[in-house]
A and B are shown apart, each in its own frame.
Chain A
Amino acid sequence: MTKFIDLTLNGISTGAIYAAVALALVLIWRATRILNFAQGAMLMVTTFIASGVINSTGSYPLGVGVALLSGFVLGAVVERVLIRRIESAPPLNAVIVTLGLYTLLVAIAGMIWGNSPRAFPAAFSLRGYNVGGTTLLFTPNDTFIVLVVLGVALLLALLFRATSLGLQMRAAAFAAEVARLLGVRVGRMFTVGWGLAAVVGALAGVLVAPSVFLGPNSFDAILISGFVAAVLGGLDSPPGAVVGGIVLGLALSYVAGYEGSALVPLAALVILIVVLMIRPTGLFSAARERRV
């Protein structure tokens, strides 16, 4: 029973990180119908920036703050400089551009920070809670991760549902031409959308870095899991991304705990295939026609 509780709590914590990455992917997909294959590399860069700030100032909050800010700038610049030029191009162009950006960022990171993995500090203790003399795998840092991701999801929901900016972003995502005819500066909304997505990605980076170490390719596996979580929840649905992330985290945690961690990548792909076969739009995305 203790093992089951351990795996469940661990799954929720890992799932929260998958949820954050999935949220970043979903925000961009909703806004521009682009799957950002460079998301993992972008959050790697911002995590390196956080690492540099923390090492030089000793302040974790400052490091995270700078990472989030640089994430927004990076996302906005990528949208304005690269994505804006291929908005009306065939979908394959976006795939090539984001894959190219991934390669570029990984190469630049290797040149600047080197290819050796380095440790990244955690916000809170990594020692498991002690309950009745038993030490759980779940740590205060895991609690922090879950609360932060849920808090971010809540803030995003508030942004989209309760603010004028959120309303304009949704309008731009659902019907860009109609939004333009209502005075919405659609290009600006896309830029903000990419910036916000990169902020969420940057957050995922600093949350997961203590457990994967920091290197140019450290986050590749996380991106794949985030992608599976996004598809599971529905690429159009931010709440779906959160639920998809948690569900995937739990599933992979049980697989790792009961069947061995070697099967985790296989299990993720099996889940992806099953979802695509049974409900291709995901669990939370309403299937609907879209004019393209």
Chain B
Amino acid sequence: MLAVEDLITEYGPVRAVDRVSLRVAAGSVTAVLGANGAGKTSLLRTITGLVRATSGVVTFAGEDITALAVEDIVRRGLAHVPEGRGVIAELTVAENLRLGGLWRGRDAAPVEEMYELFPPLRERSNQPASRLSGGERQMLSIGRALMGRPQALLLDEPSLGLAPRLVAQIMGMVRRLADSFGLAVLLVEQNARSALSIADRGVVLNLGRVVADQDSSQLAADERLRHAYLGF
């Protein structure tokens, strides 16, 4: 579904993503793990075109999307939930949701479907997104991304700043999205333990390079990797 080949991203003299290759199949979750500054967010931003790749290729559903504009990549069915949740605080919950499906026109998911998926959003529908709690914001940003009925979902640190109970909820939901909707999920996380608990595959980045790309259970069992790069 989503494939990255030899991707390099540079900010001036700094190489943030260094020859990264990975694949995410439909209905699976791939976790990208690593410490701060490992290049995780840069990788996601390069895949969705927010940052231009220096070299390498990103293909989505068999199409080379490396040079496409962000809007065109999104319109091909690749949704990106950015770090910090990215809800538009000035818009209401309902407006945020509606915005996510506008490009799909009549094929967008009904807002009601998102309220069923994320019940706490229903009673907040007419409130500005600025009034939501951290967990609700995360639900809103994921729900908004789903409004366009994407085929792939890129999640950047969805557990950031959330209480452990909410982290478990969000992770469980991500797994269900992959299983129920057949989504290809690329999950960037610092919380490696939580991410590996739901992922099919784990990719560990260090200083922009892939240092491990394994089945998640193998990765979780590799004590050397866990201690060196994952902090547990």
The chain A residues found within 8 Å of chain B, CB to CB, are: 164, 167-168, 170-171, 174-175, 177-186, 288
| Min CB gap A48→B, angstroms | 37
- Interface stretch of the complex, out of B29-37, B53-61, B92-100, B158-166: B92-100
Question: Which residues B60-86 have CB closer than 8 A to chain A?
Answer: 70-71, 74-75, 79-80, 82, 86
Considering the chains assembled together, what is the distance between the CA atoms of A174 and B87 in angstroms?
A: 10
Residues of B within 8 A of A168 (CB): 99, 102
Residues of A within 8 A of B88 (CB): 171, 174-175, 178-179
Contact of A181 among B70, B90, B91 (CB under 8 A): B70
B103 adjacent to chain A (CB < 8 Å): yes
| Min CB gap B160→A, angstroms | 16
Residues of A within 8 A of B98 (CB): 164, 167
Considering the chains assembled together, what is the distance between the CA atoms of A184 and B91 in angstroms?
A: 15
Considering the chains assembled together, what is the distance between the CA atoms of A179 and B86 in angstroms?
A: 9
| Min CB gap A179→B, angstroms | 8
* Proximity string of chain B (97-135) to chain A, C-beta cutoff 8 Å, 1 when within and 0 when not: 011101110000000000000000000000000000000
Whether A174 lies near B91 (C-beta < 8 A) is yes
Whether B71 lies near A186 (C-beta < 8 A) is yes
Whether B103 lies near A184 (C-beta < 8 A) is yes
Question: Which residues B136-171 have CB closer than 8 A to chain A?
Answer: 144-145, 148
Whether A181 lies near B48 (C-beta < 8 A) is yes
Whether B95 lies near A183 (C-beta < 8 A) is no
| Min CB gap A41→B, angstroms | 31
The chain B residues found within 8 Å of chain A, CB to CB, are: 48, 50, 70-71, 74-75, 79-80, 82, 86-91, 95, 98-100, 102-104, 144-145, 148
Contact of A182 among B50, B89, B90, B103 (CB under 8 A): B103
Q: A181-B74, A183-B74 are in contact. Are A175 and B99 (CB under 8 A)?
A: no
Whether A182 lies near B91 (C-beta < 8 A) is no
Whether B82 lies near A181 (C-beta < 8 A) is yes
Q: A174-B88, A180-B50 are in contact. Are A167 and B99 (CB under 8 A)?
A: yes
Considering the chains assembled together, what is the distance between the CA atoms of A174 and B88 in angstroms?
A: 7
| Min CB gap B91→A, angstroms | 7
Residues of A within 8 A of B70 (CB): 180-181
Whether B74 lies near A182 (C-beta < 8 A) is yes
Whether A170 lies near B91 (C-beta < 8 A) is yes
Considering the chains assembled together, what is the distance between the CA atoms of A182 and B48 in angstroms?
A: 11
Whether B102 lies near A167 (C-beta < 8 A) is yes
User: What is the chain A residue whose CB lies nearest that of B75?
Assistant: A183
A182-B100, A182-B103 known; 4 new pairs, CB 8 Å cut-off, are: A167-B95, A178-B88, A179-B99, A182-B74
User: What is the chain B residue whose CB lies nearest that of A289?
Assistant: B89
Residues of B within 8 A of A175 (CB): 86, 88
Considering the chains assembled together, what is the distance between the CA atoms of A268 and B135 in angstroms?
A: 48
> Can you list 30 A-B contacts (CB < 8 A)?
A167-B95, A168-B99, A168-B102, A170-B90, A171-B91, A174-B88, A174-B89, A174-B90, A174-B91, A175-B86, A177-B82, A179-B99, A180-B50, A180-B70, A180-B71, A180-B74, A181-B79, A181-B82, A181-B86, A182-B74, A182-B100, A182-B102, A182-B145, A183-B71, A183-B75, A183-B102, A183-B148, A184-B71, A184-B102, A288-B89
